[in-house]
């Protein structure tokens, strides 16, 4: 095992052919200097957050500065794993709070129901596909479920229609106030929903920042769905159109926050 070329103390975490071997801390410092990122928080820290059942979850939070943006990871030992991407223009403290907000949203809803120690599926939920020694399993909430056990859970919904959708773990998670529904991602339909939300925002001047962000979250989700389904250029063009429309609004904090959300989605599209 090699050591970092810079500090000579920590083990190599990132190796770049022709450039060198780096630990994560030195790599972040190097990338921060190249891309003018203000490093004002540690690249590894612990965060404890309470879930809906008032159970504490301890996460180790880390980030890596990359040429295309900043990848955040919150990992709980034998439990939740939550990811988030932020742009290079987003301050690290803001990115950290965005990650914490996503952790809180994730912990605010459980996809499993506990019936006196027996777990069953709720009608709406999410899971992560994992593999353990070549055996595929599902991680639902903070539990690892065998495929056979998952099959037994499906018995409660015999005769129901089963929908599925694969998304990256960095995307928005299901909470108790959300459902899955068929949605058109044709550019015209996506644009109409954006204009509808913008019109509602202008007609309700008393809305708070978080209420407005929740309102426009639908449009950010639309862009993500378009991107994941291969409509990359269409998503990029709509993202730019949305940013132009947002510049016409008067609330500078809202404009900045929403444009950052849009950039975090479309920045990787060539």
Domain limits, the chain? 1-34, 35-107, 187-266
The segments of the chain whose pLDDT lies below 70 read 170-181, 268, 270
CA-wise closest residue to 213 among 264, 180, 267, 261: 261
Cβ contact 104:89 at 8 Å? no
Which among 222, 113, 129 is positioned nearest to 171, based on CA atoms?
222
Three-class SS state of 210: helix
**CA–CA separation, 123 and 169 (whole Å):** 20
- Two tokens, residue 139: 């991680």
| Distance from chain centroid for Cα 142 | 17
Q: CB-hemisphere CA count at 13 Å for 56?
A: 4
Q: What angle do CA 142, 178, 190 make, to 5 degrees?
A: 125
Report the run of H or E that residue 15 belongs to, with start and end: strand 14-16
Angstrom distance (rounded) from CA 172 to CA 83: 10
Output the six-digit token pair for 11. Answer: 């083990």
Residue given tokens 């790599």 in the structure block: 27
Q: Note whether 105 and 175 are within 8 A (CB).
A: yes
d(CA 105, CA 11): 34
pLDDT at 46: 93
Structure token digits, residue 125: 């939920």
Residues in the chain: 270
């Amino acid at each position: 095992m090699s050591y970092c070329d810079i500090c000579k103390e920590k083990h190599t975490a990132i190796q770049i052919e022709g450039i060198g071997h780096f630990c994560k801390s030195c790599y972040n410092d190097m990338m921060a200097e190249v891309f003018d990122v203000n490093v004002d928080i540690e690249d590894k820290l612990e965060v404890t957050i309470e879930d809906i059942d008032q159970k504490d979850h301890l996460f180790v939070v880390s980030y890596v500065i990359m040429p295309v943006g900043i990848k955040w990871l919150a990992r709980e030992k034998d439990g939740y794993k939550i990811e988030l991407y932020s742009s290079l223009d987003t301050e690290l403290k803001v990115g950290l709070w965005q990650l914490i907000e996503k952790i809180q949203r994730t912990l605010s809803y459980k996809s499993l129901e506990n019936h006196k120690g027996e777990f069953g599926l709720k009608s709406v939920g999410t899971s992560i596909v994992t593999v353990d020694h070549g055996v595929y399993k599902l991680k639902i909430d903070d539990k690892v479920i065998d495929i056979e056990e998952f099959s037994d859970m499906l018995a409660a919904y015999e005769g129901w229609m089963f929908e599925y959708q694969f998304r990256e773990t960095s995307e928005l998670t299901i909470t108790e106030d959300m459902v899955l529904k068929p949605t058109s991602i044709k550019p015209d339909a996506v644009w109409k929903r954006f204009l509808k939300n913008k019109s509602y925002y202008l007609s309700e001047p008393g809305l708070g920042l978080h209420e407005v962000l929740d309102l426009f979250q639908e449009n950010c989700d639309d862009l993500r769905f378009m991107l994941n389904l291969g409509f990359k250029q269409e998503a990029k063009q709509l993202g730019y159109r949305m940013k132009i429309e947002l510049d016409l609004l008067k609330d500078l904090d809202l404009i900045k926050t929403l444009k950052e959300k849009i950039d975090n989605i479309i920045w990787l599209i060539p």
